Structure 1
Amino acid sequence: MKVEDCYQLGYVIKTHGLKGEIQVFLDVDNPLDYQDLESVFVKQGNALVPFFLEYIQVNPKKSITKFEEVDTIEDAERLVGQELYLPLNALPELPEGEYYYHQLVGLMMVEDGKELGVVDQVYEIAPQNLLSIIHQGKEVMIPINDEIIRSVDFEKQCIEAKLPEGLLDVYLEEDED
């Protein structure tokens, strides 16, 4: 399994008790969707290593879990700070009309029938998540919100957008000085 085929579920916060339990932060919209979790991948170096769970107690802020064969505080300490991953196909199904940001990569952004560029990256940064497209050879950052992203059509592989007036000009005028 490669990191590109997965999404980050969360990370190990710290040890819990003396028998190998750990506290994990599940960085997801609804942590309770993961209360039946059986296994995760732990990123160790550049590799994803599978770990099976003996149990998990899910709470909104932090969850307590115990991995099989992690039976001492010393074993658990080696996991602190490690990122937890699941395969993309493990993502919960979304209602019709909703999507995960990673699904937008590769789609053509269109405004009033005119192709603006293909989404090549998504930046999830507070306070505004952004889509990156290449328009006329320049990277353009488009805020992700309902006023701008009008619709997403996965069959047609396109995003219908209505950009704020002047947004493209800001990026295209940078080198004219």
Structure 2
Amino acid sequence: MEQFFQVGVITSTHGIRGEVKVFPTTSDPQRFRKLKEVILASEKEQVSLEIQSVRFSKQFVIVRFRGIDDINEVEKYKGRQLLVARKDAVKLEKDEYYIADLLGMDVVTDDGEKGILKDVIETGANEVYVVQFETSGEVLIPAIRDCILDVDVEAGSMRVHLLEGLKE
């Protein structure tokens, strides 16, 4: 299971006082208002930063970190991911799952065919799971009770029923 979840990516600096433009990758950008701390990630390290202020501009979140007051200090952060620890993630309702926990999950149909969950497509009505099966190839499975029989995040497995017409 993932221990950190991405909530945004720093796209550029904003102004000269150390603010950054963040492209939110969370389903609820307003959650930035409640965040007190984020983890700035790179290939080499993870640095914890305290959020001082948050405001919104078009599709971006403008963030200022405590102790960083100059454009030169944040210039090096462009392109970096902002993460939150699992404990600080949005709480889930019953039968809800973090997408990061679903990706790569083993999927088995009620007929015994095996596959891997490759992607999750977020639609207006419900999510759609993209599963690559060994014999029938890629299948799009709606995340509805009729199709998703069981999900075990700890074991990394999902049991599904393919409705008529889902397989070619």
With normalisation by structure 1, the TM-score equals 0.70
Which residue identity does 1:151 align to in structure 2? I
Which residue identity does 1:145 align to in structure 2? P
1:20 is displaced (CA, Å) by 0.6
Matched, 1:49 2:47: yes
Contact 2:120–2:128 (Cα < 8 Å) also in 1: yes
Which residue identity does 2:130 align to in structure 1? L
1:147 is displaced (CA, Å) by 6.9
Aligned in 2, Cα 1:58/1:93: closer, same or farther, shift over 3 Å? Answer: farther
Contact 1:35–1:58 (Cα < 8 Å) also in 2: no
| More moved, 9-18 vs 127-136 | 127-136
Matched, 1:123 2:119: yes
The structure with the largest helix share of the pair is 1
Aligned to 1:5: 3
Which residue identity does 1:39 align to in structure 2? E
With normalisation by structure 2, the TM-score equals 0.73
Aligned ranges 1:10-159 → 2 under 5 Å: 10-58=8-56, 61-104=59-102, 105-110=104-109, 113-117=110-114, 119=116, 121-124=117-120, 130-133=129-132, 135=134, 140-146=137-143, 150-154=147-151, 157-159=157-159
The unaligned stretches of length 5 or more in structure 1 are: 168-177
| More moved, 42-51 vs 127-136 | 127-136
**Higher relative contact order structure (alpha carbons within 8 Å, sequence separation ≥ 6):** 2
Aligned CA-pair RMSD: 3.2
1:55 is displaced (CA, Å) by 1.9
Aligned in 2, Cα 1:133/1:166: closer, same or farther, shift over 3 Å? Answer: closer
Aligned in 2, Cα 1:46/1:115: closer, same or farther, shift over 3 Å? Answer: farther
Instruction: Kindly tell me the number of residue pairs found equivalent between the two proteins.
Output: 159
1:114 is displaced (CA, Å) by 2.1
Contact 1:130–1:141 (Cα < 8 Å) also in 2: no
Q: Residue by residue, what CA displacement relative to the aligned partner does 1:51-106 show, whole Å, maximum 9, x if unpaired? A: 11112225671111111232211112111221111123433123333333333343
User: Which SS does the other structure have where 2:90 is aligned?
Assistant: coil
User: Which SS does the other structure have where 2:59 is aligned?
Assistant: coil
The unaligned stretches of length 5 or more in structure 2 are: none
Q: Residue by residue, what CA displacement relative to the aligned partner does 1:18-57 show, whole Å, maximum 9, x if unpaired? A: 1111111111111112311111111223322211111222
